[in-house]
Copies of this chain bind each other. A is one copy, B any other.
Amino acid sequence: MHLRIALLGYGNVGRALIALLAEKADVLRDRHNLTLGVTGIMTRSAGGWLAPNGKGISPADVLASGWPERDIPVGGESFSGGSIGFVGLAPCDALVELTTLDARTGQPALEHVRRALSAGRSVVTANKGPIAHAYRDLRALAEERGGALRFESTVMDGTPIFNMAAASLPATTIASFRGTLNSTSNYVLSRMARGETLEEAVSGAQRLGIAEANPANDLEGWDAAVKATVLANVLLDANLRPADVLREGLGAEAMRQAQAALLPGQTLKQVAEAERSGDAVTARVRLEALAPGDLLAHLSGMEAGLTLRTDTMGDLTIIEGEGGPGQTAHGVMADLVAIAVTLAGR
């Protein structure tokens, strides 16, 4: 099986993905009889290239080219149109959507995904926007046109959640979930618990590359709300949008006050949760003072955790030790392998 992929977006995750696919080329061939070729990459800041003929360029050759700091890989042709045009022209089996999230609308990623699926292609996205804003439509479109839609890396980087549920919980009903999904908030809270002020903790997180220049999106719960929407829509068969997620008592001032009000033994975490009750699914993000008996209380500032409450297995918890572009790239690779296995079985 040879899978041709095209990448939209080539920041930290895209680069980590190409490096990982190059590193794992032998393993993918030996374990899965799978080779991959890159038929194009486009990035907003540096333009793009297409390899319109043949199997595409090997990840190792893309990596070795040093593009975009150096020239386009040999066999590639410069592409200067927009991202919609790129989706139409890149001759791929699977589009890899890695553009920047717009949490409010999911665009333009949503349009990229829609167009690729409409053309019968498969899509892997690490972008939460399309799944948070249009999962049901996209799922139906993928079924109708015969492509696959996969998105492991939208929550907790590449930690097996969606692929695990699909492959290993084949007849399970998930009634609720609860987790610490936003690494910036929980890292900042872990430093505040050690005596730092919010400002000191945020500066520390920024130095480590965990927090953005403006951390409000994380501290005010928007990132976790979008992730909770994705989890609820996929695992609880909800039909939520990020604005439907209750965000309660969040933000910098609330964090200061809640940290100061903690009782001995308690740990403050930003927790996202959702539960189904009859036909309704309710999701919320809030600061919680966790008791010592709560497993989530014992996650370090770098760890993320998610507990699924199931009818067949009771509570299942999965914990990611540390996240980053490499982990996100792993989830994209896992999705690509799953797509290749599906296509090869047809």
Query: Which A positions have Cβ atoms within 8 angstroms of B?
Result: 20, 24, 27-28, 31-32, 152, 157-160, 163-164, 166-173, 293, 295, 297-300, 303, 307, 312-322, 326-327, 330, 333-334, 337-338, 345
| A149 → chain B closest CB, angstroms | 17
Contacts of A169 in B (CB 8 A): 160, 334
B160 touches A312 (CB 8 A): no
| CB-contact partner of A168 in B27, B167, B295, B298, under 8 A | B167
Copies of this chain in the oligomer: 2
| CB-contact partner of A164 in B168, B315, B338, under 8 A | B168
B172 touches A330 (CB 8 A): yes
Residue of B nearest to A341 (CB): B170
Contacts of A330 in B (CB 8 A): 172, 312-313
Given known contacts A164-B167, A295-B299, is B319 in contact with A317 (CB within 8 Å)? yes
B322 touches A314 (CB 8 A): yes
Contacts of A28 in B (CB 8 A): 170-171
- The CA of A307 and the CA of B322, in the complex, are separated in Å by 13
A315 touches B322 (CB 8 A): yes
Contacts of A27 in B (CB 8 A): 171, 173
A168 touches B172 (CB 8 A): no
B300 touches A326 (CB 8 A): no
Contacts of A163 in B (CB 8 A): 167-168
A158, A321, A327 interface centre (most CB from chain B within 10 Å): A321
- The CA of A333 and the CA of B171, in the complex, are separated in Å by 8
| CB-contact partner of A319 in B295, B333, B334, under 8 A | B295
Given known contacts A160-B164, A170-B31, is B298 in contact with A312 (CB within 8 Å)? no
- The CA of A337 and the CA of B169, in the complex, are separated in Å by 10
A166, A170, A293, A345 interface centre (most CB from chain B within 10 Å): A170
- The CA of A295 and the CA of B300, in the complex, are separated in Å by 9
| A166 → chain B closest CB, angstroms | 8
